[in-house]
Amino acid sequence: MTAKRIDVLSDTHGRLSREVLDQLDGCDLIVHAGDITSEEDFATLGALAPLRLCLGNNDWSGEYGPDVTRMVRFEYEGLHFSVTHYREKLTGDRFDVGVFGHTHVPVCEHQANGSLLMNPGSPTFPRSAAGPTMGRIFVEDGRVTSAEIIKLGDGQEERRGWGHGFFFGW
């Protein structure tokens, strides 16, 4: 089995920069933890790779189809994912990878129970010193092999690669 790359977004609020789209190139799955706020961006992301999206507090039910709800659970490459906009909604839920958004502040934590908890931050409206960010997870053989927060440019349309992220490996 070969490694799969999952790119993680949240709180894009109707703005997908060229840099974000370049970063997504070649990913196997896109996970978005809500506040996409754009049916056009939903279509754009879905054309790049399979997309799993939950609703955020600025998204409305029905805009993105019946599979997009406030809590999205799915299995991918042998791992159980739970995706929701609010971190507190992940409490008590059994998952291997939990993804949330809303705060616009990146988090990448390996939990004591072996699960990964990630908030990719926001590529458009960051609320931390890290600036604009997104997440990247590699999985293989039913396990997370690495997870990182990718620091994006400061509004400039330059492309930044692996050397500009924060790496959390297992």
155 to 95, 119, 126, 137: CA distances (angstroms): 34, 20, 11, 24
* Residue 166 confidence (pLDDT): 39
Nearest to 122 by CA among 39, 18, 35, 44: 35
Mind listing the pLDDT tens digit for each residue in 1-17? 799 999 999 999 999 99
Residues 6+ apart with CB under 8 A from 96: 79, 80, 81, 114, 115, 116, 144
In the three-class reduction of DSSP (H, G, I as helix; E, B as strand; rest coil), residue 18 is classed as helix
Identify the band that residue 154 occupies on the pLDDT scale cut at 50, 70 and 90: low
Mind listing the pLDDT tens digit for each residue in 77-101? 999 999 999 999 998 778 999 999 9
Mind listing the pLDDT tens digit for each residue in 56-68? 999 987 789 999 9
pLDDT beyond 80 at 160: no
Task: State percent of the chain over pLDDT 90.
Answer: 81
* Residue 63 confidence (pLDDT): 83
pLDDT beyond 50 at 157: no
Nearest to 118 by CA among 165, 155, 163: 165
The H-assigned helical ranges of the chain are 18-24, 39-48
